[in-house]
């Protein structure tokens, strides 16, 4: 791909430069949804042993992600820990 750039007449000779930059999203829609919807993973566990397991594990992953990205709020932390306690108790 070729892009022609025209510098203004007032520019110093041989002083112009450009650096190409390409940005793409290589993540699939489900992964993108998980990353941007982590808070939705923090919900109260319920049901039988298997259902409780499948609703508790995402809480651990969600809290870990929010902590690692330094976006974990105090409310999320409290809710997550409360839900983990419920999930581990059931």
29-78 pLDDT per residue, tens: 655 566 567 777 788 888 888 888 888 888 888 888 888 888 888 998 99
pLDDT of residue 47: 83
φ, ψ of residue 24 to 5 degrees: the values are -135, 160
With the C-alpha atoms ordered 22, 26, 32, 35, is the resulting torsion angle positive or negative?
A: negative
Between 8 and 73, the more confident residue is 73
φ, ψ of residue 51 to 5 degrees: the values are -65, -40
pLDDT of residue 29: 63
- Sequence spans of domains, the chain: 42-89
With the C-alpha atoms ordered 54, 56, 46, 53, is the resulting torsion angle positive or negative?
A: positive
Q: For Cα atoms 70, 76, 79, give the angle at the middle one, nearest 5 degrees.
A: 150
Choose among 39, 58, 46: nearest CA to 90.
46
């Amino acid at each position: 791909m070729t892009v022609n750039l025209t510098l203004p007449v007032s520019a110093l000779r041989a002083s112009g430069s450009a650096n190409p930059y390409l940005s793409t999203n290589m993540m699939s829609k489900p992964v993108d949804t998980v990353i941007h919807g982590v808070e939705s993973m923090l919900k109260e566990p319920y049901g039988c042993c298997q259902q409780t397991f499948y609703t508790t594990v995402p809480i651990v992953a969600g809290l870990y992600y929010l902590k690692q990205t330094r976006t974990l709020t105090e409310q999320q932390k409290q809710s997550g820990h409360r839900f983990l306690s419920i999930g581990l108790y059931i």
